[in-house]
């Protein structure tokens, strides 16, 4: 199921509501939903910040099967920008030396089971996968 959202931070509440709607009625561990929020927010805000000029809306698709949740975010009219290629931040540095940037993608990679970037003819797509283990399994 796909839905489109204006590329603004104000869309986040609507995006989370879309995730809640897709999760409704499924017997999944409670940590799954905030993990999906995280992946989508980090990719969506990356598209807002770094993919220019970009389309007015970003498409978000959430497909659920027996074993996994597949999320696809698509942005049009953009240059190539692959967030999955960013270097991981050094998380052992003391606070004085920590620099902003890179943490969102790092957390997304850590929390998701797959993160893939595709670029074709001005269309940028990020695909994320989260394996699921059902509570009643």
Kindly state the smallest distance separating residue 38's Cβ from another protein, in Å: 6
The answer to whether residues 135 and 28 touch, using CB atoms and an 8 Å cutoff, is yes
What CA–CA distances, in Å, run from 51 to 1, 55, 91, 98, 131? 24, 9, 26, 25, 28
Interacting residues with another protein between 85 and 104 (CB under 8 A) = 91-92, 94-96, 98, 100, 103-104
Q: What is the CA radius of gyration of the chain?
A: 15
Q: Please state, in angstroms and rounded to a whole number, the distance separating the CA atoms of residues 77 and 16.
A: 25
Within positions 109 to 128, which residues make up the interface with another protein, using CB under 8 A? Answer: 110-111
Residues from 13 through 52 that contact another protein (CB under 8 A): 13, 16, 30-31, 34-35, 37-38, 41-42, 45
Total residues belonging to the chain? 137
Residues that bind another protein (CB under 8 A): 9-10, 12-13, 16, 30-31, 34-35, 37-38, 41-42, 45, 91-92, 94-96, 98, 100, 103-104, 106-107, 110-111
């Amino acid at each position: 199921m796909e839905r489109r959202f204006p590329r603004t931070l104000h869309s986040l509440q609507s995006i989370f509501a879309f995730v809640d709607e897709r999760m409704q009625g499924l017997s999944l561990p409670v940590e799954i939903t905030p993990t999906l929020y995280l992946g989508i927010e980090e990719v969506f805000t990356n598209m807002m910040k770094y993919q220019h000029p970009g389309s007015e809306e970003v498409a978000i698709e959430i497909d659920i099967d027996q074993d996994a949740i597949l999320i696809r975010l698509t942005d049009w009219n953009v240059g190539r920008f692959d967030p999955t290629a960013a270097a991981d931040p050094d998380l052992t540095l003391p606070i004085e030396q920590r620099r902003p940037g890179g943490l969102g993608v790092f957390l997304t990679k850590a929390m998701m089971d797959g993160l893939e970037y595709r670029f074709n003819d001005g269309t940028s797509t990020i695909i994320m996968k989260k394996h699921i283990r059902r509570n009643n399994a």
